[in-house]
Amino acid sequence: MVSINYVKKKLYAPFVHAKAKKLGSYILDHLKQSESILDVGCGDMTVTQHFQKQLEKKIVGLDVIDIRLSTLPLKLYNGNEFPFPDNSFDTVYAIFSLHHCVNEQQVLKEMKRVAKKKMIIVEEVHNNIFEKYYLFAHDWIGNRLESLSMSIPFHFHTDKNWKKYIKKLKLELIHEQQISQLPWFLAIPSLTFTPIKMYILQKN
């Protein structure tokens, strides 16, 4: 019987490494001025590790489960309160992780609390009911390859709703961009057909 770990290593890992490189092309410039960085919902930490190697900066991972494939530092938390004092990190980012949170607005509040200067959010968004349910299916399949214990509450939102949450927290949206998480020759095989938005936020 083929194990989940075998599938991850042989089939899924190449997509994860390609994703880390592609995401880095959009995000790394926004991290260069930060000495301390928090990765919220870091997962297997493949993307975290890619950023750390490129920047040579301190990056700490935060998640509710430990599925690390690296030796980078990881803190576990209860899904609501971060185990860090106020203003602990120059930049706090969450890449494809807020839709896993039972209470994503509470997690956004915690991100703001521990960030000194900047927050980065990367999320897939939907524009219609078909895209919404496509995201549900794609998320379930992809994350069951990651872990059988990962929370999948399907908290995907429209671009308008994410901006509503940002405004509610009194954060300044200083940059937004539609991005891709994979090179074009891997995008179709991985079935990533919905828009991906990156929001760069500044604390007032």
Which residues make beta-bridge pairs with 106?
none
Average pLDDT, integer, range 164-171: 93
Alpha-carbon separation of residue 138 from 21, 56, 84, 92, 144 (angstroms): 21, 33, 33, 26, 10
- Percentages of the chain per state (helix, strand, coil), in multiples of 5: 40, 25, 35
Higher pLDDT: 64 or 182? It is 64
Helix (H) or strand (E) holding 89: strand 89-95
Measured in whole angstroms, how far is the alpha carbon of residue 139 from the centre of its chain? 13
Domain ranges of the chain: 4-94+104-203
The CATH number, out of the four listed (3.40.50.1100, 3.50.50.60, 3.40.50.10470, 3.40.50.150), of the domain defined by the range 4-94+104-203: 3.40.50.150
Does the reported pTM lie above 0.75? yes
CA angle at 152 for the pair 148 and 154, rounded to the nearest 5°: 155
Average pLDDT, integer, range 27-34: 93
Q: Is the confidence at residue 121, as pLDDT, over 50?
A: yes
CA angle at 113 for the pair 36 and 79, rounded to the nearest 5°: 95
